Amino acid sequence: MELRHTMKGRRAVTALAITAGLLLTVAGCGGGGDGGKSGKSSSASASARSSGDGKAKASSAPSSDQALAQVKSNGITLTVTSAERDQGGFVTVSGSVTNGTSGLWVGAEWIGDETELKKNGGSLAGASLVDEKGKKKYLILRDTEGRCLCTKFQGGVSQGATVDWFAQFPAPPAGTTSLQFQVPTMPPASIELTDGE
């Protein structure tokens, strides 16, 4: 009888030791690996961001030396960090938006006036690129169902939060490098195009 109780006790201690070991292993694997020392955040390519569920991803605000342009209006700060001409004949503009208002910001005023784009909800659907020298305006690209090739701010942006965004446009002629990035309710932002890889 005593042997049976001893075996049960050993099994219980063994099970407890294995469980504790597994918990420590899982806890050790949960960190970012850099101990919080790196202030840099990695950014996904525009195609990876556009193929997801459309939800805005939180990010740390870019430093001013990384920004191509930054404009502010009504408590919202729009930062442009990249404007690349891609080989496929389009331009991808990306950056971040920071909500400095006193509540949730949904981007409803940025959807644009076109009927086809109204179903995009809070998004960058109303954005455009303007070539002042060539006197041309480039509207946001969209798929066959009328969805913009841009970030949709599903669920909104919380007060004080910063999220990444992107928007794609037809590429201007090869000699055009200076453009104005325009979003409804925001001042125009002067940007310089670079050639993508």
Residue 181 domain boundaries? 46-195
The tally of domains found in the chain comes to: 2
Q: What is the mean pLDDT of the chain?
A: 75
Domain membership of residue 41 (yes or no) is no
Whether 39 is in a domain gets the answer no
126 within a domain of the structure (yes/no): yes
Residue 129 falls within a domain, yes or no? yes
CATH number of the domain to which 54 belongs: 2.60.40
The arithmetic mean of pLDDT across residues 39-63, rounded, is 39
Mean pLDDT across the stretch 177-197? 91
- Give the DSSP per-residue string, the chain: -HHHHHHHHHHHHHHHHHHHHHHHHHHHHSS-SSTT---------HHHHHTS--PPPB-PPPPTTT-SEEEEETTEEEEEEEEEE-TTSEEEEEEEEEE-SSS-B--GGGS-S-GGGGGG-SBSTT-EEEETTTTEEEEPPB-TTS-BSB-B-TT-B-TT-EEEEEEEEEPPPTT--EEEEE-TTS--EEEE-EE--
Asked whether residue 20 falls in the same domain as residue 99, the answer is no
Does 60 lie in the same domain as 12?
no
Q: Which residue has the higher pLDDT, 89 or 118?
A: 89
Residue 116 lies in a domain: yes
Same domain? For 71 and 157 the reply is yes
Do 144 and 58 belong together in one domain? Answer: yes
Do 24 and 102 fall into the same domain?
no
Residues 105 and 130 in one domain: yes
pLDDT in tens, 139-163: 999 988 888 899 998 889 999 999 9
Both 182 and 110 in one domain: the answer is: yes
Q: What is the rounded average pLDDT of the residues 155-179?
A: 93
Question: Is the same domain home to 22 and 60?
Answer: no
